[in-house]
Amino acid sequence: MIFVYGAPASGKTTLGKRLAKSLSSIWLDLDAFIVEREGCAIRDIFARKGEASFRDIESAALADAIAGADRNAVISLGGGSLLRDANRAVCEKAGTVICLDAPDEAELAKRIGGAAGVRPLGDKAKERAAHYASFGSRISASFEAGEGAMESFVIIGSGIAKAIAGDARIVADSTVAKLYPEFTPMATIPSGEEHKTPSTVAALWHAFANAGLGRKDSVTALGGGVTGDLAGFAAATWMRGIDWMNIPTTLLSMVDASTGGKTGCDLEEGKNLAGAFHAPRLVVIDVDFLETLPEAILADGKAEMIKHAAIGKCSVVGKGIPTAKEIAENLAVKIGMVKRDPYEKLGLRMLLNAGHTIGHAIEKSSDYSISHGRAVAMGCVEEARLAARFGLTDEAWVREFEFAFNAAGLATGLPKGVTVESLVPLMKGDKKKSGGDEVVFALPCGWGDTRAVKMNLAEGIRPC
Ligand SMILES: NC(=O)c1ccc[n+]([C@@H]2O[C@H](COP(=O)([O-])OP(=O)(O)OC[C@H]3O[C@@H](n4cnc5c(N)ncnc54)[C@H](O)[C@@H]3O)[C@@H](O)[C@H]2O)c1
Ligand SMILES: [Zn+2]
């Protein structure tokens, strides 16, 4: 059972309901349950009987709700439901309490203002800050990422993955499975891009068959971008498509690969050649996983985060492990682009390709010994230099951009013996090419300013 808790007006009802939908679970709202049982509004119970009596009524209702609810139910609590230790103990025995971070003061005032009187304890949010802070499972932000067939609900927080995926049928990265033995995977896949192959997808299909997965079942990916792409693709193709949940465990997969609905595997002929658009119904971003991520892999994710800062509005990440709030702000940039162009038809989504035309060429020229994130950092700076060369930005910003990567532990400057010109033949092979020698670059030109520019690669690189 999952209990959604938090300060008045923190969004418990909306989030609880949405979370239950994405998990196909029963949802119950404790306040609504009380109103139904008592036959009158909560503010009237407060007015007539006082807070102590209301709390007695609430405790009894909570016990009955838990006794009657499905074990996978999601229950949205009232803002003071767990002030009594006994209530807290009852919930923590039945499941996990997830506390929502309170919105900032301005937002809170706006929400409470709109619901004046309905929540008699609205002004208590601050007073109870220590109480709310004492819950270890937290959600800092949530998003709707995509609509219709591409609809995903994304939650970002800490201490939440186990609570949400406890009973799920998990496909886990083998390294992650070892590091996090509290999860019991249905199938593990060996770590590493070299295993992102059709034969691993086939192994997953066999695991699904052995587990008896039907059309109404779902699977959960637990790992980095490789695991998400593979498990998502296996889900897209199992019985012509079943639901899946994604729990990204690398920074790169949190801020990039986990949303947008692209799934697939590599072929000998090229990366990501076989695949499908199949968005996970729920993406659970739990920043606790970042604690075990090796420094270099963390830096790979930061490269995409800094790239996002050159596309949309978000702050630039620096040293250390990014917070849930920083990740949420950063991810909002990708989600905004995907929302407006879900199937990559309008050319908007291609702006997410900033730094990637040269970045992919660097990866290829190194025979993939340079990681994707590092190549993207180098590619971003080289593409910003191109933008400056063609008068789209100035050298000062390019230096600022380069400094941001360096400060996050990412070297820039091309590998020895490599020049942008020497990479041109590899850029022509890029799958994003618009035909012949014409390639559309997403050139970083400033913070929040990336522009699509068509280039002719027939002789060097020049705008068409
Ligand atoms: N679907 C998309 O839109 C999209 C977008 C970008 C990238 N991708 C794909 O994502 C892949 C790259 O993702 P990635 O960088 O996450 O790589 P990855 O999945 O290979 O993970 C990198 C390494 O980190 C390890 N790891 C994962 N979580 C860990 C943790 N919490 N602690 C310690 N180690 C951990 C893994 O075992 C692996 O060795 C590529 O295949 C790329 O094509 C997909
Ligand atoms: Zn990338």
* Mean per-residue pLDDT, 357-364: 95
177 lines ligand 1 (CB under 6 A): no
- At residue 206, the pLDDT reads 98
**CA atoms of 392 and 378, how far apart (whole Å):** 19
- At residue 116, the pLDDT reads 46
Which domains are present in the chain? 2-135 (3.40.50.300), 144-293 (3.40.50.1970), 349-463 (1.20.1090.10)
- At residue 119, the pLDDT reads 47
Asked if residue 155 has pLDDT above 90, the reply is yes
- At residue 73, the pLDDT reads 96
- At residue 464, the pLDDT reads 86
Residue closest by Cα to atom 4 of ligand 1: 257
Sign of the C-alpha dihedral, residues 293, 296, 299, 304?
negative
Asked if residue 124 has pLDDT above 80, the reply is no
* Mean per-residue pLDDT, 27-33: 97
Kindly report, residue by residue over 219-267, the tens digit of the pLDDT.
999 999 999 999 999 999 999 999 999 999 999 999 999 998 999 999 9
Q: Which of 125-134, 155-164, 284-293, 333-342 has the lowest mean pLDDT?
A: 333-342
Kindly report, residue by residue over 286-297, the tens digit of the pLDDT.
999 999 999 999
Q: Which of 106-120, 127-141, 435-449 has the lowest mean pLDDT?
A: 106-120
Give φ, ψ of 442 to 5 degrees. -105, 95
360 lines ligand 1 (CB under 6 A): no
Kindly report, residue by residue over 166-183, the tens digit of the pLDDT.
889 999 999 999 999 999
Residues in the chain: 464
246 lines ligand 1 (CB under 6 A): no
Kindly report, residue by residue over 32-68, the tens digit of the pLDDT.
999 999 999 999 998 999 999 999 999 999 999 999 9
Give residue 270's region: left, alpha or beta (phi > 0; psi -120 to 50): left
pTM of the model: 0.93
191 lines ligand 1 (CB under 6 A): yes
Kindly report, residue by residue over 392-407, the tens digit of the pLDDT.
999 999 999 999 999 9
Distance 171 CA to ligand 2 centre (A): 23
* Mean per-residue pLDDT, 411-416: 94
More confident residue, 317 or 2: 2
Asked if residue 96 has pLDDT above 70, the reply is yes
Q: Which whole-number Å values give the CA distances from 412 to 358, 385, 391, 430, in the listed order? A: 13, 12, 22, 21
257 lines ligand 1 (CB under 6 A): yes
Residues near 237 by Cβ (< 8 Å), separated by ≥ 6? 201, 205, 276
Which DSSP symbol is given to 290? G
- At residue 112, the pLDDT reads 65
* Mean per-residue pLDDT, 422-428: 90
At residue 284 the predicted structure's pLDDT band, cuts being 50, 70 and 90, is very high
Max alpha carbon distance in the chain (Å)? 83
* Mean per-residue pLDDT, 127-137: 93
- At residue 415, the pLDDT reads 93
Which ligand 1 atom is the nearest neighbour of the CA of 290? 31
Residue closest by Cα to atom 41 of ligand 1: 226
